A and B are shown apart, each in its own frame.
Chain A
Amino acid sequence: MLSRSYFWLVTALSIPAFLWLVPTIWMVSLSFQPNDVLARTTSSTALGLVPIPFTADNYAALFAFGQTPMWFLNSVVVALGMTLGVLAVSTTAGFALARLNFPFKAPIVVLCLIGLMVPEQAVFIPLYTMFADLGWHNSYHALILPRMAVPIGVFLMMQFFKAIPKDIEEAARLEGVSWLQIFWHVMLPLARPAMMTLAILTFLYAWNDYLWPLVSAQQRDYFTITLGLASIQSNFAQSEGLGRVMASGVIASLPVVILFLIFQRYVVQAMTAGGSKG
């Protein structure tokens, strides 16, 4: 009885899931078709969703001459740097704000909440002039630092730490364990699911950010993949090499997708575990 309705549910969900996947399949399929065919039609076989006629030339060309691999590495460095940075400042500050008592705590929490309302896009101009004065543009730290100041992570970690029952740390306090040790040995292990969530949010944000790299990185040595792709998808290039552009899109996406597929199982497990424990 249950299994039958379950079967129908899965079937019903498969249709939108497939549709959801179609644009991605299409990109992959186009990237494997010859450019001169694409210039005439993009629907050679099965609306273009199957790469016939097939060619791998677009990829060969990308690896032979492309800057895509370098941009990709830049994105990895920036996204990892930003993720580690955000985790470091958010867990420490989140713990302090959630579990410790100290003077001016309330005003600091309010200050952070106000900071939550300041969008990155509202401060990118002063940040731009500030980094220009410091001569910091075209560097990894210029791409990483601004995001570390955004309090959303602190807010998320604070919410998480608040939900942890008091008796855990009270027991430790009675044994004379210091606050820093409680943070490091008790709270951080408990916070792993929340940290995973924050890490993924931050990594995706870093990977996808377009506006700040656009104004800060003018030299291609510091282009992220997001910015690099924007630079090759201008309309003039598009009409001359659709397959090539799509191949860069696939190269840009593939490693993140793989990373996510491995990572995701862990994320879901972590979330479930966190949920059942809490």
Chain B
Amino acid sequence: MKHLLTGALVASALTTGAQAQEITLGRFFGACEDAGTDTETSVGEACIIQSIINAADAEIEGVSVETLPTDWGNYYDQIKAAYAGGTPPDIHVMHRHRVPEFAGIGALADLTDDLEAAGIDPADWTESARAAVTHDGAIYGVPMDLHANLWHVNMALMEQAGLVQDGKPVLPSSPEELLEHAKMLKEATGQDYLAADFAQFPIGVRLVLALLWQQGSNIFTEDGTATIETAEAQAAVEAITQLFAEDLANPQLNYADSQQAFLNGEAAVLVNGTWVVDFYTAEAAKEETGLDDYYVADFPSLFGEGATWADSHIWVIPSPLEANDAEKYQAALKVLAFINDHNIDWARTGHMAVRNSVLESETYQSLPHRAEYAGTVEIARDTPPSESYGAIQDILNRELQAIWLTDKPVEDALADAEIEVQDQLDR
């Protein structure tokens, strides 16, 4: 039946669109091959975005959308290789932090004057979302979300450790309290207090960055001076390493393993992004998982100021398309408008919406756990814009891993990181 349906859709697309514009689309988020076109019931980042894309393919007249590979690890390498080879996808997703690198050399189409006509209202975007796609005063993309690090909490474990009050978890407000809570939890449950991917993806970096920002510090300044060998950075790192030293957290877990530990009820807190809220909600509803009572909390402040790592996913069009193929460019804009219209569906992942009209809507506010991390918008932060964002994250990830996986002294690691980041900034 399903086959017949897709077959019919394909057939109708073929007959109606005699000169249908085929738009190639590049994205990460992983593959979801049987996503369908129902944008309201799909679960998880991969399936939700693919259902929106499939719907765009089916519903926009005269436009068909072909999704390119969805590989995570090599995404930017491959996008760059595609640009340099003259064959970039017609639209693709990217992070806010990559805008300086791509827009800086004129790789992205300037959409400023075309958005209104395409049915996209930039005035409806939140201020931070507008800032995310703006470079040198021009708009280079359509924002899709604001995503940030959260504390995903297993309430049953917290309850056993006496760390629940009024139905909310009691979270630490200082490094000392963090250690104390972790010890209490270990004693009461035998489980780890905190888990995160400290071993592979830069989630540990984002954690340390948050603790750094909470002290009003940063890894480099807007004018390009690295400031990593500082007392603040040391304090931020040691807030984490004290947990490893006392065996209250395991630095060797990667993304999949740390997630599995949390779902198995082997860790009370998982530090991970907004993108998994709906997935964990679904898992918690299942009988078999070790997570039954799931709560989502804002990243707590351990040092006074509130701050958590955040970024945005945005959609862009390569500049050569605008310059060479006006019709296709218009078709690409239609797809962007369609994605913009489905901002609410994307927000079901757990990401924060970027349109004020969506943020204020009943549907959005009643999404699961949404109220629990409402404060995250206020504390969302990122490092200053830089063309070598990726390389800098990589340096920090390596040096931090060196600290907790290979026992490198904190001072040495921070000093080395500062030198290397400065090298990147000077290039």
Question: A234, B33: Cβ atoms under 8 Å?
Answer: no
- Assess the B69–A66 pair: CB atoms within 8 A: no
Chain A residues lying within 8 Å of B362, measured Cβ to Cβ, are: none
Query: Nearest CB to that of B74 among chain A residues?
Result: A214
Which among A64, A219, A230, A237 is the interface contact of B30 at CB below 8 angstroms?
A237
Q: Cβ of B30 and Cβ of A236 under 8 Å apart?
A: yes
Tell me if B34 is interfacial: C-beta within 8 Å of chain A: yes
A169 to B277, CA, bound (A): 76
B424 CB to closest chain A CB (Å) equals 21
* B427 within 8 Å of A (CB atoms): no
Q: Is the CB of A231 within 8 A of B85?
A: no
Q: Are B33 and A65 in contact (CB under 8 A)?
A: yes
B289 touches A236 (CB 8 A): no
Please name all residues of chain B whose beta carbon is closer than 8 Å to the beta carbon of A65 when the two chains form the complex.
33-34
- Asked whether, in the complex, the Cβ of A235 is within 8 Å of the Cβ of B255, the reply is yes
User: For the complex, is B217 an interface residue (Cβ under 8 Å from A)?
Assistant: no
Give Cα A204 to B201, complex, Å: 32
Residue interface bits A233-247, CB-to-B below 8 A is 1, else 0: 011111110000000
CA distance A131 to B24 in the complex (A): 21
What's the least CB distance linking B160 to chain A, in Å? 22
Query: Does any Cβ of B come within 8 Å of A192's Cβ?
Result: no
Query: Could you say which of B76-84, B99-107, B166-174 contacts chain A?
Result: B76-84
Is B31 located at the chain interface by the 8 A CB criterion? Answer: yes
**Complexed CA–CA distance, A36 and B287 (Å):** 11
| B68 contacts A220, C-beta separation under 8 Å | yes
Q: Judge whether B256 and A231 touch: CB under 8 Å.
A: no
Q: Does the CB pair B85–A235 fall under 8 Å? A: no
Residue from B31, B78, B87, B201 within 8 A of A237 (CB atoms): B31
> Which residue of chain B has the shortest Cβ distance to A131 in the bound complex?
B85
Contact B30–A234 (Cβ < 8 Å): yes
Which B residues lie within 8 Å of A137 (CB)? 85, 87
B46/A40 in contact, CB under 8 A: no
User: B201 — which chain A residues lie within 8 A by C-beta?
Assistant: 235
Chain B residues positioned under 8 Å from A89 (CB to CB):
none
Alpha-carbon gap, A232 to B32, bound state (A): 10
Which residues of A sit under 8 angstroms from B46, Cβ to Cβ?
236-237, 240
Q: Is the interface of B mostly helix, strand, loop or mixed?
A: loop
- Across the interface, B73 reaches (CB within 8 A) one of A61, A234, A239, A240, namely A234
7-56 of chain B: CB within 8 A of chain A: 24, 29-31, 33-34, 44-46
CA distance in complex: A137, B24 (Å): 16
B264 and A231 form a contact (CB under 8 A):
no
Near A by CB (< 8 A), chain B positions 190-216 give: 200-201
B54-71 interface with A by 8 A CB criterion: 68-71
Interface size class of A (residues with CB under 8 A): 20 to 34
> Measured between C-beta atoms, what is the minimum distance from A163 to chain B in Å?
44
B409 at the A interface (CB under 8 A): no
In the assembled complex, the Cα of A142 lies from the Cα of B68 at a distance in Å of 19
Tell me if A40 and B72 are in contact (CB < 8 A): no
**Number of contact residues on B: which range applies?**
35 or more
Please, which residues of chain A bring their CB within 8 A of the CB of B82? 218
A42 to B69, CA, bound (A): 28
Q: Do residues B71 and A234 form an inter-chain contact, with CB atoms below 8 A?
A: yes
Q: Determine if B34 and A64 form an interchain contact, defined as CB atoms under 8 angstroms apart.
A: yes
Contact residues of A: prevailing secondary structure: helix
Residue from B30, B68, B70 in contact with A218 in the complex, judged by beta carbons closer than 8 Å: B68
Cβ of A168 within 8 Å of any chain B Cβ, yes or no, is no
Whether, in the assembled complex, B281 has its beta carbon less than 8 Å from a beta carbon of chain A, the answer is no
- The answer to whether A64 touches B3, judged by C-beta atoms less than 8 angstroms apart, is yes
Question: Which residue of chain B lies nearest to A136 when distances are taken between CB atoms in the complex?
Answer: B85
- The yes or no answer to B330 lying at the interface (CB within 8 A) is no
Bound-state Cα–Cα, A174 to B125, Å: 88
Could you tell me the distance between the alpha carbons of A231 and B68 in the complex, rounded to whole angstroms? 11
**Can you name the residue of chain B whose Cβ is closest to the Cβ of A218?**
B82
**Does A236 contact B255, Cβ atoms closer than 8 Å?**
yes
Residues 368-405 of B, flagged 1 when their CB comes within 8 A of A and 0 if not, give 00000000000000000000000000000000000000
Contact (Cβ within 8 A) B34 A219: no
Say yes or no for A83: interface residue by CB 8 A criterion.
Answer: no
B112 smallest CB distance to A (angstroms): 28
B63: min CB distance to chain A, Å? 18
Structural contact, B288 and A36, CB atoms closer than 8 A: yes
CA distance A223 to B87 in the complex (A): 15
Q: Kindly provide the distance from the CB of B280 to the nearest chain A CB, expressed in whole angstroms.
A: 12
Indicate whether A132 reaches chain B with its CB closer than 8 angstroms.
yes
Q: Are A235 and B256 in contact (CB under 8 A)?
A: yes
Does A26 belong to the interface (CB within 8 Å)?
no
1/0 per residue, CB under 8 A from B, across A150-162: the answer is 0000000000000
Known: A132-B85, A132-B86, A239-B259. Is A40-B31 also a contact (CB below 8 A)?
no
From known contacts A236-B30, A239-B260, A240-B44, infer whether A219 and B87 are also in contact, taking CB-CB under 8 Å: yes
A183 beta carbon closer than 8 Å to chain B: no
Task: Name which residue of chain A comes closest to B288, CB basis.
Answer: A40
A128–B71 contact, CB under 8 A?
no
Of the candidates A131, A218, A230, A238, the one whose C-beta lies within 8 Å of that of B256 is A238
Question: Within the complex, what minimum Cβ distance (angstroms) separates A35 from chain B?
Answer: 12
Which chain A positions have C-beta within 8 A of B288?
A: 36, 40
A36 to B289, CA, bound (A): 10
| CB neighbors of B among A191-248 (8 A) | 214-215, 218-220, 223, 228, 230-232, 234-240
16 A–B contacts from the bound complex (CB under 8 Å) = A61-B34, A64-B2, A64-B3, A65-B34, A137-B87, A214-B74, A218-B82, A219-B24, A228-B69, A231-B69, A231-B74, A235-B72, A236-B30, A236-B72, A237-B30, A240-B30
- Knowing that A231-B74, A239-B259 touch, tell me 13 more A-B residue pairs with CB under 8 angstroms: A36-B288, A64-B2, A138-B85, A214-B74, A218-B87, A219-B24, A231-B69, A234-B73, A235-B72, A236-B30, A239-B256, A239-B260, A240-B46
Which residues of A come within 8 Å of B, CB atoms?
36, 39-40, 61, 64-67, 128-129, 131-132, 135, 137-138, 214-215, 218-220, 223, 228, 230-232, 234-240
Interface, chain B (partner A; CB < 8 A): 2-3, 24, 29-31, 33-34, 44-46, 68-74, 78-79, 81-82, 84-87, 200-201, 254-256, 259-260, 263-264, 279, 286, 288-289
